[in-house]
Structure 1
Amino acid sequence: MSFLKKIFVKSRSQEDGFFFNEIEIILGFKPINLDCYRKAFTHRSLNKLDKNGKPISYERLEFLGDAMLSSVIAAHLFNKVPSGDEGYLTKMRSKIVSREHLNELGRDLNLIRFVESKVPTQHFGENIHGNIFEALVGAIYLDQGYPQCEKFIQKRVIEPYVDIARLEGKVISYKSLLIEWCQKEKRTFHYDVFEDNAITGERLFGVKLSIDEKVIAKARATSKKKAEEKASQRAYFAFQEKINTK
């Protein structure tokens, strides 16, 4: 073996050793197939291909992890809340696997430090945290199977975060809640969306939310959806007493 090849192999071995140790701490068990977990943090911008010429990225594992989370959490709620009907259980599951919550889980574990990408991490959207958390769950399923995947979700999601009483009062979407209330009370509402760029040049969107032709709330954010949700939240607090008594 050439001198340069020895250095490369040693360096790669040290890198794998560090990654193995860090992942083991997060998982709570020893990974078997480290490649599964590397794939969970591979961004498509790298344009990597497997031996069959198929693209390698975390996106397929993200899909699998989403299904595993839904399955395990659905079973937990089914057993934990025997009186809950289908609508209640669906709403509660949605709160647990909401994008906001998954992003929080990914941030808490600092998973973004493992992401390999040609795109600087500061350019990633907020949802990258939740996406790679789902991909990690998918990797666990491929590496260890359903039982170990279920244990991880119990340990990292259900035990520290799932409080039924607290979740019952948690709002998933202020916009949906506000629209439902307006329709029920026969009130007119309108979201006026416009570009509202910052001095720094960042592209932002502004929103004026009117109810019964009166501007109730304003907000701005990096996307139309976020701006509408922020304005809806402010309007909700303005009408909170009326909404919660209906």
Structure 2
Amino acid sequence: MNFPPKIFNSHSKEDGDFFLGITKILGFKPKNLQIFKKAFLHRSLNIKDMEGNPMNYERLEFLGDSMLGTIISKYLYSMVPEGDEGYLTKMRSKIVSRDHLNELGKDLNLIDYVESRIPKSHFGNNIHGNVFEALVGAIYLDRGYSYCEKFINKRVIEPYVDIEQLEGKVISYKSLVIEWCQKMKKDFDYNVYEDTGNDTVKHFAVKLSIEQNVVAKARATSKKKAEERASKRAYYALQHQMEKSE
């Protein structure tokens, strides 16, 4: 299948605008612009290469996720010599959390470059982080590890990574609540039930009970999100007790 001219014509005005925009984001000129173009192709385009393989950002996203984790791990290993494996793993998880990656993608306005048949207003929030990871993967393929590390230092570590602040950052309230309940030998239960109400989108409602007492309720469009919201409310309701037990 031939590549669509709009996306892969290297002499088009669109390519010139794309080159200038990406160069500004990267801080250096890409060698192979087509690799970076692929980092913004949504699967809804249903594009395939000459061998019939899908052409979208998902494989680059996979690669970028690995590179991001490796470079952040190296940074933490060097900067926190006293940190054990568990500590370093938690800190890395905070830096590369989905919420944080989504914010990075938004800050760089990466969605402006996405090519898709789906209106951008219909994308979920994770598109921002997914494309950011794909961009990291493209940098690695185009320029190698050193340029990838420089980009992550410039766009992730220098402006956003503060070890002391990260130590106090919560990435999962559900995990905190469960760990506390297990430590204090308290029974807990997430009672999940469908609750569509008048909403056009399906919702789930959650009641979080500890020792058979309901301590928090929440609603969301997925079971996982509803449980996390209920856990966050329970955490703040029980924060004084949880801090005393530490």
Q: TM-score, normalised by structure 2?
A: 0.93
Task: Verify the 8 A CA contact 2:9 2:15 in the aligned structure 1.
Answer: no
When the two chains are superposed, the root-mean-square deviation of aligned CA atoms in Å is: 1.5
Does 2:246 align with 1:241? no
Match of residue 57 from structure 1 = 56
Alignment correspondent of 2:196 = 197
Matched AA of 2:88: L
**2: CA distance, partners of 1:204 / 1:12:** 48
State the shift of 1:103 in Å: 0.8
Query: Where does residue 140 of structure 2 map in the other structure?
Result: 141
| Map of 2:109 onto structure 1 | 110
Task: Please give the alpha-carbon distance, in whole angstroms, between the structure 1 residues aligned to 2:27 and 2:48.
Answer: 30
1:175-214 equivalences under 5 Å are: 175-214=174-213
1:164 corresponds to? 163
Report the count of equivalent residues.
Answer: 238
- Counterpart in the other structure of 2:173: 174
Q: In structure 2, the residue corresponding to 1:192 is in which secondary structure?
A: strand
Give the secondary-structure state (helix, strand or coil) at the position aligned to 2:200: coil
Structure 1: any 5+ residue segments left out of the alignment? 1-8
Partner of 1:6: none
- Offset at 1:11? 11
Residue number in structure 1 paired with 2:224: 225
Q: Deviations over 1:87-121 (max 9, x none)?
A: 11111011101111111111111111111111222
Aligned pairs for 1:76-155 within 5 A: 76-155=75-154
Deviation at 1:187, TM superposition (A): 0.8
Show the counterpart of 1:4.
Answer: none
Q: Whole-Å Cα distance in 1 between the matches of residues 197 and 143 of structure 2?
A: 48
Q: Is this contact kept in 1: 2:203–2:219, CA < 8 A?
A: yes
Corresponding position of 2:12: 13
- The residue identity in structure 1 corresponding to 2:212 is E
- Deviation string, structure 1 residues 191-242 (Cα, Å, up to 9, x no partner): 1112222534122111111111111111111111111101100000011122
The Cα shift of 1:132 comes to 0.6
Give the structure-1-normalised TM-score.
Answer: 0.93
Query: What is the alpha-carbon distance in structure 2 between the residues aligned to residue 242 and residue 110 of structure 1?
Result: 42
- What percentage of aligned pairs have identical amino acids? 67
